[in-house]
Amino acid sequence: MNPSKTRTLLPLVVLALVLLFGVIGCSKTGTVTGKVTYDGKTLTAGTITFTSDKEKGGSASAEINEEGEYKAERVPAGPCTVTVSTKAARERAKEVLKQGSSGPSVVPTGGGGQGGSPQNIQDKTKDKGTAEMPGAKEIEEKLAREKKKYEHMIDVPEKYWDAKTSELTYEAKTGKQTHDIDLAKVDEAPKTKK
């Protein structure tokens, strides 16, 4: 090989390796799994977020399932502040719990249009029952699971929603790790000194 090409190529290879290892070093993340409870009771819904304490360190969030478990991927390695919120889950719970228990169906009611009188429609459909919408059974089953999830939902105090007030910290590492959290009960009313 020509010595002048070697002198030109060697610094480029070294630079490429430095950049490669620098980028790999900056993107160190981990996967954190665990269970979240509040005052010893399992949370059945919510969101957990790990926010890096480093400037521009990023964050990673995960949904908490009905067993209180979560799996947060791409959690930035290093010191993190942890927040747990049930705000969005509570909004969804309101929607789900106010819905009726029966799934969608098509029930002929008669009247209107040129289809004839309600009696004619009832005569034509009396032995046929109601026609279910395709996928109605699956929708009804999903709604039943969601209702069960939200029926006994525990609301986490707002203190744990915000990184400035949660007081929850975790030292995330690269790779897989487990971190269970039992949120301490918070008195909602301010205590008065006597």
Given a cut of 70, whether residue 7 has pLDDT beyond it is no
Residue keyed to tokens 């964050």: 59
CB contact at 8 A, 154 and 38 = yes
Which residues make up the CATH 2.60.40.1120 domain(s) of the chain?
29-86+154-186
Banded pLDDT at 10 (limits 50, 70, 90)? low
Kindly state the average pLDDT of the residues 65-70. 95
Tens-digit pLDDT profile for residues 125-182: 566 666 678 888 888 888 888 787 788 889 999 999 999 999 999 999 999 999 999 9
Kindly state the average pLDDT of the residues 43-47. 94
pTM value? Answer: 0.65
The three-state (H, E, C) secondary structure of 136-189, written as one string: HHHHHHHHHHHHHHHHCCCCCCHHHHCCCCCCEEEEECCEEEECCEEECCCCCC
DSSP 22-48: HHHHHT-EEEEEEEEEETTEEP-SEEE
* Residue 143: closest CA among 113, 107, 100, 186: 100
Strands 131-132 and 59-64: unpaired
Q: Does domain 29-86+154-186 have CATH number 2.60.40.1120?
A: yes
Q: How far apart are CA 63 and CA 42, in angstroms?
A: 14
Neighbours of 95 (CB within 10 A): 10
The two structure tokens encoding residue 177 = 């790790």
Collapsing DSSP to helix, strand or coil, 110 comes out as coil
What pLDDT, on a 0 to 100 scale, did the predictor assign at position 185? Answer: 92
The two structure tokens encoding residue 80 = 């993190």
